[in-house]
Structure 1
Amino acid sequence: MRGAPLAAMVGGDLYEVVDSPWGTRLLIGDVRGKGLDAVGIASRVLGCFRVVAEISVLDDFVTAVVVQIRGDRMDMVNAGHPDPILVRRTSARPLTAVSRRPPLGLLVGGADSTSIVIEPGDRVLLYTDGIAEARHPGSGEFFPLLPAVGAALARPATLDNCLGDLVARVREWTGSALTDDVALLVAEVLGPGSPASGRRPAAADLADPVRPTSW
């Protein structure tokens, strides 16, 4: 697993990857609301990563997932955010936390982290709820998230290409008429001696026409 310091915001959606002495840490979050206020809150969360003492108004909150990957373990804390999705070989399943904490900025207190055994080749997708709530313009059906993630990320291709496939599936389903921002962050677990090329975390946003970006 490899990562490098980089942060991004999509309106109120945010994500970041940092290599730390304790493992690679990934953050994805979604600030309630829109506009400059949401952007400002997202910026403070990225700057602090976990410390959001400035957020004191109950109408302003951030849902987030923080993931740490080291060796064959992945630790996760979920603060009111959609569950990440683990893709192992040809199957995709949500990673549900054993306990959850409220969204950042609502209540104080913590939650136990969830520890998961991971294998070389596993891919983990973190996302904001804009993709889970994306609807077909004709039928009104929600985007089939799990099957689409499994089909896109299980392919033997680079993370950029796989994420680009998922983005294309969302755009096709919605007719490119999303009603909310979407941020996507996918990481792959490397085995000993695995080449790093094309295997680093990749991210995309669907607020505007974009190309997936790896770092």
Structure 2
Amino acid sequence: MTFGLLSRPAPRVALPGTDAGEAAARAPRIGNGVLSGGLALLTAVIVSLDVLAGNDLRLVPLLVVAPALVSVFGTVGQTAVAGAWVTGAAVVTRAATGGTTWDVVSSIVFTLFACLLSVAACALRIRHATEIARLRSAAVALQRQILRPLPIPTDQITAHGTYTPIEEDRLVGGDIYEVVQSPYGTRVIIGDVQGKGLPAIGVGFAVLGAFREAAIREPSLTAVVDRLEDAVVRQNAFAAQTGDTERFVTALVLGFDEDGRARAVNCGHLLPRLLHDGVAVPVPLRRTSLPLGLAELSGEGRTAERLDFPPGATLLLFTDGVTEARDADGHFYPLDARLSRWARRSPQGVLDALEHDLEAFSDGVRRDDVAVLALRRSSSAEPAPPVPAGREAALAAEVLSGR
């Protein structure tokens, strides 16, 4: 989570469902051919060393390491096969080398007991992995139900986007987005909840619910943000009662009215990027306020400001899963340099290039959710006509007041 003031200069969710997650947990990570060859080679080596060592040193019991290793990477069936193999090898070897009855029986019993422990350990590992897969799938399914599929067309804009969760059970993030058609135009939010896990998803759901309600009811963009602030404060009050962690939410809230004007309220979120005429530049929002849930720390109210969004341009909104992605050497993803290469592409083309480039840059290792929206004016939406001189002062006062 990064404050905008301190930031560094169909969602596509390829996730396993519950059944797929359980199947992945149960799938072997070693092939049967490799297993058979490894067991044969290990048995040959240890038995040969045992024969060379003579009766003074018995090495055959060391074969029990085979099912122990298989239990870490294989299935229960593979572990049982390895255990049966090792037990059979122990019986044949002890019968061939002879010895007292006690020595033979104790050696075989020890081998059998160790093999049974390996099978039990493998079963427990797979059970735990299956539970984790179920939890992960449930958390991701919850996120997918909360966030609407993209693209989302409205009268003023079309919102393309992509959303890629981190896919870890305890690291499921709280990235959110929404696009609402209201009587006052289109309202858009993208945000990032502090922290991770199911509690973060709960806060994100509270913000989305408040936004969907306020976006339709409130005529002022700042009034919409005030309702979001109230939602986070209520959620934090409930968290304090239950002993959970209080959280804040960075958010960027945009409004696009029927006259083609665009406005923004930035609550500590990353600055959007404008791609137009082959150039990609950060949008200079100068009135960044504190994140949602922290308004009481500042005596200044939140205000909306005008946003330059010409026809044919793409407005890119994103969370810090993009800017804080790192390569193998720990370098942050150079977003602005990359966007300059794709500034003439369509919104979907930019998203495709960004998604593939992020994957290659981080070598598939994600540390946070990635949410990106690419906004383009609808073909029917035209920019506002020139404002008569007599109304300029009134509009300026309206913007300053956050209306």
TM-score by length of 1: 0.79
Name the aligned partner's letter for residue 60 of structure 1: R
Partner of 1:2: 157
Alignment of 1:1-215 (within 5 A): 1-3=156-158, 10=165, 11-49=173-211, 50=228, 51-52=230-231, 53-56=233-236, 59-70=246-257, 71-108=259-296, 110-137=301-328, 139-155=329-345, 157=346, 159-192=347-380
- List structure 1 segments (4+ residues) > 6 angstroms apart after TM superposition: none
Q: CA deviation at 1:130?
A: 1.2
CA contact (8 A) 2:325 2:367 kept: yes
Q: Which has the higher contact order (CA 8 A, sep 6+)?
A: 1
SS at the partner of 1:68?
Answer: strand
Give distance in 1, aligned partners of 2:289 and 2:321: 21
Deviations 1:37-67 (A, max 9, x none): 0000000000001241413368411000001
> Is contact 1:152-1:163 (8 Å) kept?
no
1:193 shift after superposition: 7.9
Q: In structure 2, give the amino acid aligned to 1:144.
A: P
- Is the helix fraction higher in 1 or 2? 2
Query: Bigger radius of gyration, 1 or 2?
Result: 2
RMSD: 2.3
CA 1:110/1:193 → structure 2, altered by over 3 Å: closer, same or farther?
Answer: closer
SS in 2 for 1:39: helix
Note the C-alpha offset of 1:153.
Answer: 4.5
Q: Which amino acid aligns with 2:249?
A: V
Query: Mind listing any 5+ residue stretches in structure 2 that lack a counterpart?
Result: 1-155, 166-172, 212-227, 383-403
Secondary structure, in 3 states, of the residue corresponding to 1:27? strand
Q: Give aligned pairs, total.
A: 188
What secondary structure sits across from 1:14 in the alignment?
A: strand
**What's the CA shift string for 1:83-126, capped at 9, x where partnerless?**
11111121111123221221111124632212023211011111
* Greater share of strand: 1
C-alpha distance 153-20 of structure 1, shift in aligned 2 (>3 A) = farther
* Structure-2 separation of matches of 1:74 and 1:193: 12
User: TM-score of the superposition, structure 2-length normalised?
Assistant: 0.43
The amino acid that maps onto 2:253 is: V
Q: Is residue 279–residue 343 contact of structure 2 (8 Å, CA) maintained in 1?
A: no
Contiguous gaps of at least 5 residues in structure 1: 195-215
The range that moved more, 142-151 or 174-183, is 142-151
Task: Decide whether aligned partners of structure 1 residues 113 and 193 sit closer, same or farther in structure 2, where only a CA change above 3 A counts.
Answer: closer
- Going from structure 1 to structure 2, the CA distance change for 1:54 and 1:46 (only over 3 Å counts) comes to same
The residue identity in structure 1 corresponding to 2:377 is V
